[in-house]
Amino acid sequence: MGEGSAVANFLRRTLWPLVVGMAAGALLVALRAPAWLVAGGLLLLSVAAITMALRTRTAMLTVTRADEALGRTILPPLAREVFEHLPDPLLLLDAGGRVLFANSAMRAVVGVGSENKHVSALLRTPLVLEAIAHTSTSGEPGAVEFSIPVPVERFYQAYVARSATEPPITTFLLHDLTAIKRTEQMRADFVANASHELRTPLSAVSGFIDTLKGHARDDVEARDRFLDIMSVEAGRMRRLIEDLLSLTRIELNEHVRPAGVVALEAIVRETAAALMPLAKSDDIAVEVVAASGLPLVVGERDELIQLFQNLIHNAIKYGKSGGHVWITLATAPGPGGRGAGEMVSVAVRDDGEGIAVDAIPRLTERFYRVDVRRSRERGGTGLGLAIVKHIVNRHQGRLSIESQAGAGSTFTVFLPCAPPDNTVTELL
C-alpha cells in the first residue's frame, strides 16, 4: 500500500465519525433535544473517532514494522554487509515497489533515508519506473539506459530482475556509464573542434611555406617576416591543442568530486605571482586581498591553479593598460537546496571595457569570443572560460559573471568548504 492511500484511509476512518456526529448533533438541536443529550452524544462520537484513529495508526505502524521485518528477513547481517560495500548502486524492492534495502552506492545517487519509500519518490525517470513495473508484474528481467542531469550529468544502465521466492523481491542494479559516454563524446568533440580551429593556422603556414619555396625563396626580408608569422601560428596551434587536451581531461572526470583539501589563498597568491611579469608588461597592478581565517576547501590543487590562471590572465589581457586587477577572497553562504554549507568566494575584477549583457551567457561556450581579433592577437584560444566552467562544476561550486560596459568585469568563483575535521592534504 502506498503512502498516499494509507494517509487517505487514515483520514477517512478518522473523520467520518466526527462528520456523522456533527450531523446528528445538528439534528438533535433542530429537534430541540435536551442539552445533556446533545453533549453526551457528541462525547460518545468523539471517543469513537479517537479510538478509530488509534486503531488506524496502530495498523499503519504494524505495516511499516512488517516491511522492516521483511527487509531484515531477506537480508541477514552478512548479506547486508556484502551488498553495502558493492561498488554498484543496488536497490531491493517489495512487490509494491517499496524500498527494502539500498546500499551506500545507491544512497549516493538517490539520497539517504530511502528505505520504506516508494521507488517513484527516489527515481523519477519514466523509463526506469516502467521497467521496474514490468519486471515486478511479469517476472521478465529488463535493462534500460538513462541519465540524471543534475548536479552533473551522469549516465547509467539499469538492470531489473524479480526473484522466484515468496514474497517476490525485485532487484534494481545500476552500472555507471558516465566515463564511457564522456570518452565517446570527448573523442567526437576533439576531432570536430581540432579540425575546425586548426584549419586556419594550418592553411596560413602551408601558404607561407609555398611562398618561401617559390618566388620569395631569395627574398631575405620576406622570408624573415613570413617565418615570424609562421612561428606565431605554430604557437597558436600548440596552445589550442594543449587547451583541447586539458578540457577533454577535465570533462572526462567532471562527475568525480576531488578528494583533496587545500588552502585557497595560497593557490591564488601563487598564481597571481606567476602572472605578475605579464601584468607589468601592460603596466597593470594586481592586488590580492583575503579575509582572515579563511576555511579550507575541497579541491584539486593543479586544477584550481589552472582555473585562477585563466581568470587572472583574462583580467590582465582584457583590462586597460595602466589599470588594476583586484582579487578578493572571502567567505560566503552556500546556495539553498543543495546541502552545501559555507563557501569560499574568489572574485577577480578588472577595470577594462566590460562585456555586453547579451554576450555574458555565452562566455563559457567553447571557442566563443566577444572580440575575435583581439583574442587571437593576445594568444587566446576561446577555451579558457570553458575550462573554468568545467573545473567549477567538478568541484561542485558556482561561477558568477558580472559586467558593465566601460566599467570592467567581475568573475566570482564559489567553492564549498571542507568539513571542519579535515587538514590540508596537498603540499602548497
One digit per residue, the tens of pLDDT, for the chain of length 428 reads 444 444 445 445 545 555 555 555 555 555 555 554 445 555 455 545 445 544 544 444 444 444 444 455 567 788 888 888 888 999 999 988 999 999 998 988 888 888 888 999 888 889 999 999 999 999 899 999 998 887 778 899 999 999 888 888 899 999 998 888 877 776 776 666 666 667 777 887 888 888 888 877 778 888 888 888 888 888 878 888 888 888 878 877 887 888 889 999 999 999 999 999 889 988 999 999 999 989 999 999 999 999 999 999 999 988 888 889 999 999 988 765 444 478 999 999 998 888 888 888 888 888 777 766 666 666 667 788 989 999 999 998 999 999 887 788 999 999 999 887 654 444 33
With H, G, I as helix, E, B as strand and everything else as coil, classify residue 329: strand
Closest CA to 297 of 200, 196, 397, 168: 397
Same domain, 222 and 341: no
Closest CA to 277 of 307, 313, 241, 302: 313
pLDDT value of residue 32: 54
Same domain, 195 and 222: yes
Residue 31 grid cell: 429537534
pLDDT value of residue 11: 47
Q: Which structural domain range is residue 234 located in?
A: 178-256
Residue 406: CB partners within 8 Å, gap ≥ 6?
353, 354
Same domain, 88 and 68: no
Q: How far apart are CA 226 and CA 232, in angstroms?
A: 10
Same domain, 422 and 298: yes
With H, G, I as helix, E, B as strand and everything else as coil, classify residue 156: strand
Same domain, 108 and 132: yes
Establish how many alpha carbons lie within 13 A of residue 216's alpha carbon, considering only the half-sphere containing its beta carbon.
14
Same domain, 247 and 270: no
Q: How far apart are CA 102 and CA 111, in angstroms?
A: 10
Please tell me whether the overall predicted TM-score, pTM, comes out greater than 0.85 for this model: no
Q: How far apart are CA 303 and CA 311, in angstroms?
A: 13
Same domain, 262 and 382: yes
Question: What CATH number did the domain enclosing 132 receive?
Answer: 3.30.450.20
Identity (one letter) of the amino acid at 167? P
Residues 86-110 have pLDDT tens digits of 889 999 999 889 999 999 989 888 8
Q: Is 359 exposed, middle or buried (0-12, 13-18, 19+ CB in 10 A)?
A: middle
Same domain, 10 and 146: no
Question: What CATH number did the domain enclosing 310 receive?
Answer: 3.30.565.10
Q: Is 58 exposed, middle or buried (0-12, 13-18, 19+ CB in 10 A)?
A: exposed
Last residue of a domain, one of 223, 256, 289: 256
Could you tell me the sign of the dihedral formed by the alpha carbons of 54, 56, 59, 64, in that order? negative
Number of domains in the chain: 4
Same domain, 318 and 393: yes
Last residue of a domain, one of 256, 275, 307: 256
β-strands 142-148, 261-262: how paired? unpaired
Nearest 5°: the CA angle 318, 323, 324 is 90
pLDDT value of residue 47: 46
Last residue of a domain, one of 74, 101, 126: 74
Could you tell me the sign of the dihedral formed by the alpha carbons of 364, 368, 371, 375, in that order? positive
Q: How far apart are CA 363 and CA 382, in angstroms?
A: 9
Residue 268: CB partners within 8 Å, gap ≥ 6?
288, 290, 308, 327, 329, 346
Residue 177 grid cell: 556509464
pLDDT value of residue 38: 47
Residues 240-288 have pLDDT tens digits of 888 888 887 887 788 788 888 999 999 999 999 999 988 998 899 999 9
With H, G, I as helix, E, B as strand and everything else as coil, classify residue 100: strand
Closest CA to 331 of 391, 359, 291, 367: 291
Residue 295 grid cell: 576555511
Question: What CATH number did the domain enclosing 225 receive?
Answer: 1.10.287.130
Side by side, the strands of the sheet bearing 285-290 are: 285-290, 324-332, 343-350, 409-416, 398-403
Same domain, 278 and 346: yes
pLDDT value of residue 75: 72
Same domain, 144 and 183: no
Same domain, 376 and 295: yes
